[in-house]
Amino acid sequence: MTTSVPKRRNGVLSALYALGKGGTQLARTGEATARPSGESGNVAGARKLFVYIASPSFSGSTLLTFLLNAHPDVCTVGELKAGMPEGGNYLCSCGRRLVECDFWQRIVEEHARLGRRFDLNDFGMRFERQPSRWVGKVLGAGVRCSSLELLRDAAIATLPPLRRARDRTLENIETFALAATRITGARVFLDGSKDPFRLKYLPRLKHFKLKVIRIIRDGRGVTNSMMRNEKQSLEASARSVRNMCIQLERMELKLPAEDCTKVYYERLCREPNATLNALYRFLDLDPSRAATDYRGVEHHIMGNRMRLRNGSEITLDEKWRRELSAQDLEVFERIAGDMNRAAGYE
Ligand SMILES: [Zn+2]
């Protein structure tokens, strides 16, 4: 925990708001891993696993979520951050709305058994959505350079509204993971929310040990998918991909290396079995227990529209190769070429 304490004055709040803007340079400062006291001695096997998929959007996280959910020791609903603003009307991957889905009904009932109320219209699991807007802005800001992150940590440690909101959100996440693992009998809970800033808080879970799977995909593919799906310009998409990768790098530097692994989207599509077996080993799971047809098992997943498709075929999406012009590729190269090469793509 940090020992620096900010003074409560306008300058500090201004700096906190700056967390939500600018500051995209890489911060490799070797700062200590931010962990709450008593949490550093994670004992594998003593606690269930909370597995977090971290990546930019359109990197294959929904596919990986479905594939891992085919293992009986894994349970997931995809992106815990999803569901809003449709709430109970959100379409579960089983084809029913959350309010009509038996699985989600069992989640509500299990929460009641745990003495908690679960509202399908508002999960309360988004750090960035808080009754006080400034609280959500500080907790949910992107991961910035070390000095701003130290400031955020100090603010959370000293300002009760921030601390309470963080702890309440974490408690909601933890209760949900407990309910889901109790219903399914799984010992691994998977959250495919992807955003790097959630990783600031998840190491504080009390009943789960955190492990992180980072998905790497060719930035040209991510950019092209983002342009098509979010109707964004190539420049904005490439900048967004680059910024997200920088944030993921920053976050990964703060986590124990042995609790993080990388998955390459292209390899996952080309060699799914070998890639999944490596992931099962990372998660201490028996590969032989995984279902061979991942679509043949029950799924109740939120997130990318891909969740609503049928069919088990895994198709590598490399549309960018024919959809991006030479000029587009030049623009991408100027904005994010260095990042893409550093990730191993030529
Ligand atoms: Zn469902």
In-domain check, residue 21:
no
Cα of 82 to ligand 1 centre, how many Å?
Answer: 14
* Parent domain of 72: 48-119+177-342
Instruction: Please report, for the domain that includes residue 77, its CATH number.
Output: 3.40.50.300
Range 177-193 average pLDDT:
97
- Of 159, 143, 144, the C-alpha closest to 9 is 159
Q: Which two tokens stand for residue 82?
A: 């999803």
In-domain check, residue 232:
yes
Cα of 103 to ligand 1 centre, how many Å?
Answer: 6
- What Cα–Cα distance (Å) separates residue 149 from each residue in 23, 116, 154, 205, 248? 11, 32, 8, 20, 14
How many domains does the chain contain in total?
A: 1
In-domain check, residue 64:
yes
Q: CA 100, 49, 260 angle in degrees (round to 5)?
A: 115
Cα of 301 to ligand 1 centre, how many Å?
Answer: 7
- pLDDT of 341 > 80? The answer is yes
In-domain check, residue 70:
yes
In-domain check, residue 130:
no
Percent of the chain with pLDDT over 70: 86
Cα of 329 to ligand 1 centre, how many Å?
Answer: 40
Amino acid at residue number 308: L
**Residues 68-123: tens digit of each pLDDT:** 999 999 999 999 987 667 888 999 999 999 999 999 999 999 999 999 999 999 99
Amino acid at residue number 248: L
Cα of 187 to ligand 1 centre, how many Å?
Answer: 20
Cα of 299 to ligand 1 centre, how many Å?
Answer: 7
DSSP 27-62: ----PPP---TT-S---BTTBEEEEEEE--TTSSHH
- pLDDT of 18 > 70? The answer is no
Asked if 195 and 165 count as a contact pair (C-beta separation under 8 A), the reply is no
Contacts of 302 (CB under 8 A, 6+ apart): 77, 78, 79, 82, 83, 90, 92, 93
- Measured over the CA atoms of residue 190, residue 193, residue 198 and residue 199, the dihedral's sign is positive
Cα of 77 to ligand 1 centre, how many Å?
Answer: 9
Cα of 305 to ligand 1 centre, how many Å?
Answer: 14
- What Cα–Cα distance (Å) separates residue 44 from each residue in 209, 210, 282, 289, 334? 7, 10, 11, 20, 44
CA 176 to chain centre: 15
Cα of 97 to ligand 1 centre, how many Å?
Answer: 7
Q: Which two tokens stand for residue 194?
A: 């992807």
Asked if 77 and 199 count as a contact pair (C-beta separation under 8 A), the reply is no
Cα of 257 to ligand 1 centre, how many Å?
Answer: 35
Q: How close are the terminal C-alpha atoms of the chain, in Å?
A: 40
3-state SS assignment for residue 302: strand
Cα of 92 to ligand 1 centre, how many Å?
Answer: 5
Cα of 24 to ligand 1 centre, how many Å?
Answer: 38
Asked if 215 and 64 count as a contact pair (C-beta separation under 8 A), the reply is yes
Cα of 89 to ligand 1 centre, how many Å?
Answer: 12
In-domain check, residue 221:
yes
What predicted TM-score, i.e. pTM, was given to this entire model?
0.87
Cα of 83 to ligand 1 centre, how many Å?
Answer: 12
Cα of 328 to ligand 1 centre, how many Å?
Answer: 40
Q: How far apart are CA 126 and CA 80, in angstroms?
A: 8
Cα of 108 to ligand 1 centre, how many Å?
Answer: 13
DSSP 143: P
In-domain check, residue 208:
yes
Cα of 101 to ligand 1 centre, how many Å?
Answer: 5
Please report which confidence band the pLDDT of residue 14 belongs to, taking 50, 70 and 90 as the band edges. Answer: low
**Residues 31-60: tens digit of each pLDDT:** 333 333 333 333 344 589 999 999 999 999
Cα of 9 to ligand 1 centre, how many Å?
Answer: 48
- Name the pairing type of β-strands 48-54 and 188-194: parallel
In-domain check, residue 277:
yes
**Residues 261-275: tens digit of each pLDDT:** 999 999 999 999 999
**Residues 298-328: tens digit of each pLDDT:** 899 988 777 877 777 899 999 999 999 999 9
